[in-house]
Amino acid sequence: MSIRRVVPDIHSEDLEESREFYGLLGLVEVMNQGWVMTLASPSNPTAQLTLMGADSTAAVQPDLSIEVDDVDAVYEAVTAQGAEIVHPLQDEAWGVRRFFVIDPNGRVVNVVGHR
């Protein structure tokens, strides 16, 4: 398994205000789905953070996202160890396959892969 990136997910009541604040730190918008927005460093595009309103298909908000090359293999590995899944493995309309799992610290991890 290969990890492509690890991104903190920040819940935001006002995505535009948050984008403006992080813009002061040099981050620029690279993706915007209306309810979720990713900001990145222009000089290091894998340095990212995600701003989230209410998730489009999940009842819980993730604390971080880990993009992997084989989300199905990771799902099999964590379920085999008895990890708690709080959002099922599924394909999403915006082109990703993902699931949410609780880590040992109680954090919600969005494990995601692009299709």
pTM as predicted: 0.88
* Domain coverage including residue 35: 3-114
Instruction: Please state whether beta strands 28-32 and 36-40 pair in parallel, antiparallel, or not at all (unpaired).
Output: antiparallel
pLDDT tens per residue, range 2-60 = 999 999 999 999 999 999 999 999 999 999 999 999 999 999 999 999 999 988 788 89
Helices (H) and strands (E) in the chain — how many of each?
2, 8
Instruction: Identify the CATH number of the domain in which residue 57 sits.
Output: 3.10.180.10
Residue 56: its pLDDT value, please?
Answer: 78
**Number of folded domains that form the chain:** 1
